[in-house]
Amino acid sequence: MQLSERGSTSLNIINSELRREERAIFVLRELYEQYGYKKYKMSKFEEYDLYLENKSFLPSQQVITFTDLNGKLMALKPDVTLSIAKNVPSSPKEPEKLYYNENVYRTPHGSNECREIMQVGLECLGDVDLYSQCEVIMLACKSLQKLSDDSLMVVSHMGFVSGLLESCCLPRALEEKILKCIGHKNSHEIVRLCGLAGVSSGMREALVALTTLYGTFEETLDKAEKLIKNEKMQNSLMQLRELSNVLSAEECSCMRLDFSVINDLTYYNGLIFQGFIDGVPTAILSGGRYDNLMEKLGKETQAIGFAVYIDQLEHCDVEDECFDTDVLLLYEPNADIAKLTAAVKMLTANGQRVRVQKTRSEKLRYKQLLKLGDGGLEILETND
């Protein structure tokens, strides 16, 4: 009896009083556990060497470092995936399915200050077959839907993009510039660069088509088919087709194919994706297939995963109509404290949040202002 009561109050708290980002953590944890992912709790620090060796895997280059008591150079974690990838056995017998909820420390794009960023994420390491891949993408879609009614998942394939670049046979520096242009959907600069480097008009048009392609899988897969130049692109497109065949129509309706989602080629090889929700100006979810990282770390295994940037939810609520407390209860210095205590008990038992103090408040937002007088509780003000 008591237990169930407590259960229902805590559920109420989840629905009403928690801030959106706090609620998200609970909801996502429940989702990932439902699919058998295990929580992975990690330390805040990691040896700096790990990041030094894999610098371009990190979204921002600055890392906060310090020397520990043994004189080792340590870092506040800028990223969780690297730590998880480092710690799996080099040829695991069974898959590792993990989720985490950690703070990471990094410098957001265009800023000079390091910030603590709350991140929830999921990694699947081992033999990543079609099922695992679809499961992770489906969980990414579901995560977005849990956060907002209006969400979009944008999917790309690094193999498809790098396949096309390889078939152009460009010098490395130019390839990087063109990859950057693809990321900015900047087709006019691609045309200019191709002109300077003497790239054939067929290749140039394929690059422009790749850059501007955007739409549902249904609309775009056939168009992408026409761009295929080699086996690598063929295989990549096949993976995208398999994905759209396995996922339900409902899941596919919120997915878009967009090759402007790119990531570092030395770490990511297959599917990569980003999630957006209405009201948040940047990607709130980001992930992909990173077999190349595993190989670089000397592991004979494949891996796919994603992270959700919970802190992005903080500014997306337009209406900030919450109250700090339901009742602000005032009392006189000579009030009967026993009566006051009884009144507070009564109010809290009704599920109301009560703040008790002697004076009115300029800062607190309250629904009701009550006063304990001689005749009991009087209502002075109501703000509902």
Binding site for other proteins (CB under 8 A): 109-110, 149-152, 154, 184-186, 188-189, 214, 253-254, 256, 258, 260, 276, 278, 280-283
Q: What is the closest distance, in whole angstroms, from the C-beta atom of residue 368 to other proteins in the complex?
A: 36
| Residue 221 CB, nearest approach to other proteins (Å) | 17
For the chain, how many residues are written?
A: 384
CB atoms closer than 10 angstroms to residue 221: 16
Q: Which helix (H) or strand (E) holds 25?
A: helix 20-34
Between residues 285 and 343, which has the closer beta carbon with respect to other proteins? 285
In the complex, the smallest distance separating the C-beta of residue 233 from other proteins, rounded to whole angstroms, is 23
Nearer to other proteins, 129 or 176 (CB): 176
**Radius of gyration, CA atoms only, the chain:** 27
Least distance in Å: CB of 249 to other proteins?
10
d(CA 241, CA 235): 10
Angstrom distance (rounded) from CA 257 to CA 224: 10
Say how far apart CA 40 and CA 86 lie, in whole Å: 13
Q: How far apart are CA 210 and CA 34, in angstroms?
A: 37
Q: Measured from the CB atom, is 123 or 258 closer to other proteins? A: 258
Q: How far apart are CA 374 and CA 384, in angstroms?
A: 26
Q: Name the residue nearer to other proteins (CB basis): 185 or 229.
A: 185
CB closer to other proteins, 150 vs 332: 150
- What is the smallest separation between the CB atom of 140 and other proteins, expressed in angstroms? 14
Q: Which is nearer to other proteins, 185 or 339 (CB)?
A: 185
CB of 347 to other proteins, least distance (A): 41
CB of residue 109 to other proteins, shortest distance in Å: 5
- CB-neighbour burial class of residue 153 (10 A; exposed 0-12, middle 13-18, buried 19+): buried
- Residue 106 or 299: the one with the smaller Cβ distance to other proteins is 106
In the complex, the smallest distance separating the C-beta of residue 185 from other proteins, rounded to whole angstroms, is: 4
Rounded-to-integer distance, Cα 65 and Cα 259, Å: 35
Q: In angstroms, what is the minimal distance from the CB of 36 to other proteins?
A: 27
Q: What is the amino acid identity at position 324?
A: D
Q: How far is CA 300 from CA 89, 164, 171, 211, 297, in A?
A: 9, 27, 31, 33, 9
DSSP for residue 256: E
Q: Cα 269–275–277 angle (5° rounding)?
A: 170
Smaller CB separation from other proteins, 301 or 312 = 312
Backbone angles phi, psi at 65, to 5 degrees: -120, 160
CB of 171 to other proteins, least distance (A): 14
Which residue, 18 or 152, has its beta carbon nearer to other proteins?
152
User: Which residues sit opposite 74 in a β-bridge?
Assistant: 47, 66
Q: Which of 299, 283, 17 is nearest to 154 (CA)?
A: 283
Amino acid letter, residue 295: E
Which burial class, exposed, middle or buried, applies to 59 when counting CB atoms under 10 A from its CB (0-12, 13-18, 19+)?
A: middle
Q: State the angle between helix axes of 217-225 and 231-246 in degrees (0 to 180), rounded to the nearest 10.
A: 160
Q: Do the beta carbons of residue 339 and residue 373 sit within 8 Å?
A: no
Of 182 and 304, which has the nearer Cβ to other proteins?
A: 182
261: which strand partners?
none
